[in-house]
């Protein structure tokens, strides 16, 4: 499976944003995993390759969750939040990824 080659331009677009929340922080501390918002059509293999390319770390595994957007109201107007695809990227032991911007 490691013989698959991906377009580097596509890999740079796969990771949309890191997710920094209470749950994501707890997961990071407990299982050495980092959470990202990714493109809707991104595959696990693409996500793994993108994280390894951008952050120079070794990835142990990738879990993906699709969250449906909620319908919300504000007065008379009805809106809808976007659907979100989250990737929980587990790093190999000894690997570390610092998204807070603090120097180690």
pLDDT bin (cut points 50, 70, 90) of residue 63 is very high
Q: What is the pLDDT of residue 102?
A: 59
Sheet containing 84-91: which strands, arranged edge to edge? 15-18, 33-38, 84-91, 59-67
Q: Which domains does the chain have, with CATH numbers?
A: 8-91 (3.30.70.330)
The predicted-structure confidence for 85-98, as pLDDT tens digits, reads as follows 999 999 999 888 87
Handedness of CA 20, 96, 15, 67 (dihedral sign): negative
């Amino acid at each position: 499976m490691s013989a698959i080659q991906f377009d580097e331009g596509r890999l740079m677009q796969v990771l949309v944003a890191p997710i920094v929340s209470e749950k994501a922080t707890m997961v990071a501390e407990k299982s050495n995993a980092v959470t990202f918002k990714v493109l809707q059509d991104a595959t696990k293999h693409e996500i793994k390759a993108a994280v390894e390319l951008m952050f120079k770390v070794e990835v142990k595994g990738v879990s993906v969750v699709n969250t449906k957007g909620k319908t919300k109201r504000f007065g008379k107007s009805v809106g809808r939040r976007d659907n979100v695809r989250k990737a929980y990227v587990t790093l190999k032991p000894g690997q570390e990824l610092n998204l807070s911007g603090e120097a180690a």
